[in-house]
Amino acid sequence: MMTERQQRVCVWGGITFAPLFFVGFWLLAGFIPPPAPGMSAEAVARMFAEGRGRIRTGLWVATAAAPFLAFFVAALTHQIRRIAGSGSPLATALTFATLDCVSALIARGARTDNIVFAAAAGHVDWMHAWFDGDRSTTMRPPAVFPLSPDRSVAAEQALVFASMCGQTKIVRLLLDRGVNINAEPPGSHWTATPLHTAAGQGQTAVAELLLSRGADPTLKDSRYGSTPIDWTRHARGPRRALARAVAVMLAGRG
């Protein structure tokens, strides 16, 4: 799996390709726009003869730009594979915070045999067994979800997604087990604290619980530099009204 830094480098490869290709193919070779289809053979021969050096240089520059496009294609392919997944629609639904899909998939029997999915599904007994070292809870991380192999970080990831999904019992369980309430674990693009994800989804009960247990409403996430109250402004669809209620709560604590 490509790291975020590697993906950024590959994307810059595509950005590098575009100007180099157009400088070579357009400005130097002069092939944009292409030669008129009605040109005679003599006119075409004269065009190439008169501009031989310029055309050769332009095509060399355009050809030299081609390897940079390969880097961009690699990043694009990685993203397509990540989104498409490997038989785990639940991972995609959680990654994009489509909570209606999350609920529907869990109700229809989606596999939840890792700590983040179990937390999102509200499986309290499974969570207790995992913390107690039950071997039957051996985690099966999905290929498209960057679940941390570190148990403490994985528990922090679980707290983030349980908060996003409004699983109050799971949030309380994780906090009682000593999970850092202000953690900002890596994994997916929800790299923020539990209070951020609860606020962004309008999870009033969870946000109230987190605040009562000491969550810091002034912390800014590392990706966007936004506070939890900022996240409430980006709630989607029917969750907007719920997010506004959380914003009022946070404003009183700020």
3-state secondary structure of 197: helix
What does the H/E/C string look like for the chain?
CCCHHHHHHHHHHHHHHHHHHHHHHHHHCCCCCCCCCCCCHHHHHHHHHHCHHHHHHHHHHHHHHHHHHHHHHHHHHHHHHHHHCCCCHHHHHHHCCCHHHHHHHHHCCCCCCCHHHHHHHCCHHHHHHHHCCCHHHCCCCCCCCCCCCCHHHHHHHHHHHHHHCCCHHHHHHHHHCCCCCCCCCCCCCCCCCHHHHHHHCCCHHHHHHHHHCCCCCCCCCCCCCCCHHHHHCCCCCCHHHHHHHHHHHHHCCC
Residue pLDDT, tens place only, 169-204: 999 999 999 999 999 998 666 679 999 999 999 999
Measure the CA–CA gap between 155 and 143, rounded to whole angstroms: 18
- Residue 24 has, within 13 A of its CA and on its CB side, a CA count of 17
pLDDT band at 222 (very low <50, low <70, confident <90, very high): confident
- pLDDT(165) > 80: yes
Residue pLDDT, tens place only, 87-140: 478 888 888 888 999 999 999 888 888 899 999 999 999 999 999 988 787 766
Using a pLDDT cut of 90, give the percent of the chain over it.
Answer: 58
Measure the CA–CA gap between 243 and 139, rounded to whole angstroms: 33
Using a pLDDT cut of 70, give the percent of the chain over it.
Answer: 92
Measure the CA–CA gap between 207 and 210, rounded to whole angstroms: 5
pLDDT recorded at residue 192:
92
What rounded mean pLDDT belongs to the chain? 88
Measure the CA–CA gap between 194 and 108, rounded to whole angstroms: 26
